[in-house]
Structure 1
């Protein structure tokens, strides 16, 4: 952190975004701010978290604030002699910034704050060994739940019932929470890239997309699989079309995973997937980026998309999730979470992703 602050010309920093606060301090409470100045590091929270802060926070002093935590953090920095304080403009509202300004004296207020968007978020992109292991375990927990669900999903269930069963099993298996609202999209609803589970009943002859993740140790997992609810008479014209689309998405996903390694640009990975779908005549139905970073938040940097020049680095954890969405017909998405290495990547979500009929 100190080196990153110096690179921005900052002598002090106030951190308020919960995931950033947790990454810097270990604190998981809902109300906190961290003030940094040189070697001095202090966390501010309220009286509800006195015991929790004592248990969780390491390497920082703790102050139980009587006023809003961000304001007390800024006032402390001014008292400590800071003349220039960075804040993350990407996560700080106009109202929050105004409140922080009111916490410092008028004589220093005008030049005290400097916007430095995403500095801590950028540092969080590269995971250390402990973070990577936690994410590996979260991903494997998700895979175990998915493998169980293959024996549960059947025609006649509603999408909501599938999501509820999946989430119940995840919590029973030890998940702290779900990474996001579970997506279950079947049949024509598969044409919605983020189709929330609905009351629609699953029917034979339909594709079913499941997109979900679990949180373990504060870190998120993320995976998507698309399966086919088999007809009794197989390989009708419609089924053959769906399988052809599925095969194209699977090939795109495999190609993109193969392109991942340290030093490769995010745009190159995106293009590896897009090229396959372009050849198959399906690129126009691929309406989002190929992937994104994952960590303490389900969507972090880097963005794996077209024109994204950022280079992948060893230790980054990203998703690879191309999809094809045919409005009014069906959709297919396949997603793995991978850990970037010098030589390639480690797939953290090894559950089978080939064509599967239930």
Structure 2
């Protein structure tokens, strides 16, 4: 079988495909094989939600993307992907496939591309040892290199469509946050406020964004049809960071951490606030005042050209000046996009520079077990000259 030329032009692909191919050329990578759900979506625009067989994106340095998926997923793949070249594997009814399994089909594709003996990029931070051995067995003459960091670098800068979807995710999360705050004011339990927040987020999504999907990325053992998540932790439970909400009702003098992760067409937003139930004990109130002052001092640095580590060091400086140096967190934010927690962190070691199109979380905090947890986080877009807070739910010191 001759390789079928893609009917779409390079202009129909988002800029990230060109960036990724340029990175491949710079690093001498002839083809990338992506198994990670976020990465196959990044290249093809397809999220099958539920995985029983791998969904594989193949990107050669000089060709448009190829999507390889099980025959059962053909209709969904053709409806949901932006690529024209879709190949099938497996056995399902009378469907014509490239091979009975993904290994045979992938071999055929790479041979047609003429890269089966060349440099093949794989995601060593994701694929299993078994998968790596399978690839080495079917392409014995190829050189395999890890492209995990290469892809992450490309993901740091978001395309216009990704930014638009992140804005939608942030709007949805704001609805949930305002609903949860109102629920606490009404005396609700952790579970009460989360159920109402997720209900309102879903209603807002259903009414205003008919063409937006809120599914998240799954695994071979399950999928996530709805990624509009909200959870609340009160009292001593705030130090758990993430746990399922309970029927616990917050008590006077306690704080409640309200945390929302949302997704729109693959792009995430993070929105976190801490609410005081009545006046707080003085040590906790002082910590809140300190972190709000520090946020105000660091905020002007969030703009193009600033080193990520400078944001961290400014935070550390503020904590030390107020007597909280021993409680300096390991990081004060991270990249966000296809993952709610992308790998790049705003910490003392980061060599990254803020650039237009990056989206980060801004979350300096003070965590003193038994005393206080100041959980405040926003999703922030770096613009051409400044920054834009995508999450806009009420902030500052919230006492009800």
TM > 0.5: yes
TM-score by length of 1: 0.89
Aligned length: 348
Residues 72 and 103, structure 1, Cα contact 8 Å, conserved in 2? no
Task: Give the secondary-structure state (helix, strand or coil) at the position aligned to 1:136.
Answer: helix
Alignment of structure 1 residues 125-274 onto 2, 5 Å? 125-154=156-185, 157-174=188-205, 176=214, 179=227, 182-194=230-242, 196-230=244-278, 239-274=281-316
Out of 58, 66, 70, the residue aligned to residue 35 of structure 1 is 58
Q: 1: distance between equivalents of 2:35 and 2:243?
A: 32
Deviations 1:3-23 (A, max 9, x none): 111111011221111111111
The Cα shift of 1:298 comes to 0.6
The Cα shift of 1:257 comes to 2.7
Which is further off, 268-277 or 149-158?
149-158
1:91 aligns with 2:126: yes
The Cα shift of 1:199 comes to 4.1
Residue 213 to residue 142, structure 1, CA distance change in 2 (3 Å) = same
Residue 25 to residue 46, structure 1, CA distance change in 2 (3 Å) = same
Out of 31, 43, 48, the residue aligned to residue 24 of structure 1 is 43
TM-score by length of 2: 0.81
Task: Give the secondary-structure state (helix, strand or coil) at the position aligned to 1:150.
Answer: helix
Q: 1: distance between equivalents of 2:370 and 2:114?
A: 62
Which is further off, 307-316 or 246-255?
246-255
The aligned residue for residue 118 of structure 1 is 149
Residues 317 and 338, structure 1, Cα contact 8 Å, conserved in 2? yes
RMSD across aligned C-alpha pairs, in angstroms? 2.2
Residues 155 and 229, structure 1, Cα contact 8 Å, conserved in 2? no
Which is further off, 171-180 or 220-229?
171-180
Q: 2: distance between equivalents of 1:75 and 1:270?
A: 49
Residue 40 to residue 338, structure 1, CA distance change in 2 (3 Å) = closer
Q: 2: distance between equivalents of 1:255 and 1:294?
A: 22
The Cα shift of 1:320 comes to 0.6
Residues 65 and 83, structure 2, Cα contact 8 Å, conserved in 1? yes
The aligned residue for residue 211 of structure 2 is none
Task: Give the secondary-structure state (helix, strand or coil) at the position aligned to 1:313.
Answer: coil
The Cα shift of 1:74 comes to 4.4
Task: Give the secondary-structure state (helix, strand or coil) at the position aligned to 2:65.
Answer: strand
Unaligned runs of 5+ in 2: 1-19, 91-99, 207-213, 216-225
Stretches of 4+ aligned residues off by more than 4 angstroms = 177-181
Unaligned runs of 5+ in 1: none
The Cα shift of 1:347 comes to 0.8
Q: 2: distance between equivalents of 1:43 and 1:116?
A: 18
Q: 1: distance between equivalents of 2:133 and 2:227?
A: 32
Out of 101, 106, 114, the residue aligned to residue 81 of structure 1 is 114
1:13 aligns with 2:55: no
